[in-house]
Structure 1
Amino acid sequence: MSTLYTEDEMTAILTMTDEDLLEYFLFRIAEMDEVCGLKQGPHWITREIKEQHTLPVWPFKSFAAMTAIDEWQHLKPVAESIEFFMYRILNKQIEQGVMIEIMPRKTGAGCLISPQRLLNYLEDMRDSSECMVGD
C-alpha cells in the first residue's frame, strides 16, 4: 500500500504524547488495514525496555524501515493484516507477557500498551465499523 503521510505529520509525530501517538496509530492502521513491524527471519523482533520485553509496531512499513538502522539494520520491515496481527501476533504477546511498543522514538520508547488492551481497542474499532456499514 502507498504511504499516506506528510512531512508535517512526520514532524508532529516526534513530539506527540503517548496518548496522541496511540490515537494516530489506531487511525492509521484502520485506514491502511495493516500493522507493520520488523522481522528477523520468520519472527517479529522484540526488545527490552526497563526490564520489560516489548514488540515495536508502526502504521507504515516505511516507518519501520526508518528505524532499521544500527543494531536493527539487518531486520526486514513487514506488514501484516490487522486480523492477523490481532489474533496471531497479539494473542502470542498476551501469552508471553510482552508489551506492545507503538512507534518507538529516536529519543526513547514509543507508547507502551498491554497487548490485551490494544486487542480490545481493535475489536471495538472493528465492531463499530461493522455497525456503521449495516446502518
Structure 2
Amino acid sequence: MNIKEFESVLKLPRAKRYSYFIKKVVDYEEVWGLYDDGWAVSEDDDGNMLLPLWPRKEFAEFCAKHEWENYKPKKIDLYEFMNDWLPAMKEDSLKPSIFFNNIDSIKLEIDTLLNDLNLELEDY
C-alpha cells in the first residue's frame, strides 16, 4: 500500500472506513489486531469493552501508540475470526471497534459485523 492511499483511507468518515474494512478483510481473508501478551482492548464512554480491529497491518501499526506502544500487529484468519472469535466475543460481551484511526472508530454489534462479512463473501 502506498502512503497516499494509506493517508486518504485514514481520513475517510467512519462509515466509509467500515466499508473499506469489510471489502479488504474479505479480499485478503485476514483481520488485524494489536497484540502484546494479550490483545489490545479499549473501553467506550458507556463502559463497553472494545476490541480494535483493522483491515491491514499498516493501519494497526499506525495505532500502536500511547497505551498500546508495545503492541505489535497480529493477523487473524478471517474464517477463524468469523467462526471462533466473534461467537466468543459475543459471549464475553466484547464489542468490535472497527478501523480506529486514532480519532474514532465504528462500534457495532457482532451480529451486524458477521452479517456484513457474510454478505461480502457471497460476492466471491
Confirm or deny: 8 A CA contact 2:40 2:52 kept in the other structure.
yes
- Counting aligned pairs with the same residue, the percent is 25
Number of residue-to-residue matches in the alignment: 123
**CA offsets 1:53-82 (integer angstroms, 9 cap, x no match):** 111001111221221122111112100110
Q: Identify if the C-alpha distance between structure 1 residues 37 and 118 changes in structure 2 by more than 3 Å, giving closer, same or farther.
A: same
Which is higher, the Rg of structure 1 or of structure 2?
A: 1
Q: TM-score of the superposition, structure 1-length normalised?
A: 0.81
Is 1:58 the counterpart of 2:65? The answer is no
Higher relative contact order (CA 8 A, sep 6+): 2
Confirm or deny: 8 A CA contact 2:40 2:51 kept in the other structure.
yes
CA distance in 1, matches of 2:96, 2:10: 18
**CA offsets 1:38-97 (integer angstroms, 9 cap, x no match):** 1132x3221101122111001111221221122111112100110011112111111122
Q: After alignment, is 85-94 or 7-16 more displaced?
A: 7-16
Say which of 87, 91, 94 aligns to 1:95: 91
- Name the aligned partner's letter for residue 93 of structure 2: G
Q: Identify if the C-alpha distance between structure 1 residues 78 and 62 changes in structure 2 by more than 3 Å, giving closer, same or farther.
A: same
CA distance in 2, matches of 1:112, 1:6: 27
The answer for the alignment partner of 2:80 in structure 1 is 84
CA distance in 1, matches of 2:87, 2:80: 10
The answer for the alignment partner of 1:75 in structure 2 is 71
Say which of 101, 109, 112 aligns to 1:114: 109
TM-fit CA distance, 1:12: 2.0
The answer for the alignment partner of 1:27 in structure 2 is 23
**CA offsets 1:24-48 (integer angstroms, 9 cap, x no match):** 001111111100001132x322110
Is 1:45 the counterpart of 2:32? The answer is no
TM-fit CA distance, 1:104: 0.8
Q: After alignment, is 120-129 or 19-28 more displaced?
A: 120-129
Q: Which stretches in structure 1 are left out of the alignment for 5+ residues?
A: 130-135
Say which of 106, 127, 130 aligns to 2:122: 127
